[in-house]
Chains A and B, each alone.
Chain A
Amino acid sequence: RKEVEQDPGPFNVPEGATVAFNCTYSNSASQSFFWYRQDCRKEPKLLMSVYSSGNEDGRFTAQLNRASQYISLLIRDSKLSDSATYLCVVEGAGNKLTFGGGTRVLVKP
Chain B
Amino acid sequence: SAVISQKPSRDICQRGTSLTIQCQVDSQVTMMFWYRQQPGQSLTLIATANQGSEATYESGFVIDKFPISRPNLTFSTLTVSNMSPEDSSIYLCSVPLGGQTFFGQGTRLTVV
Chain B interfacial residues counted at CB < 8 A: 19
Prevailing SS type, chain A contact patch: mixed
- Which of A11-19, A52-60, A72-80, A98-106 is the interface stretch? A98-106
A87: chain B residues within 8 A (beta carbon):
42-43
Q: How far is the CA of A45 from the CA of B94 in the complex (A)?
A: 11
Give the secondary structure class of B's interface: strand
CB distance from A14 to the nearest CB of B (A): 26
Chain A interface bracket (under 10, 10 to 19, 20 to 34, 35 or more): 10 to 19
Contact: A96 with B48, CB < 8 Å? Answer: yes
Contacts A43-B104, A44-B92, A94-B48 known; 17 new A-B pairs at CB < 8 A: A34-B101, A41-B108, A42-B106, A43-B105, A45-B103, A46-B100, A49-B99, A94-B31, A95-B31, A95-B33, A96-B45, A96-B48, A97-B45, A100-B42, A101-B41, A101-B42, A102-B42
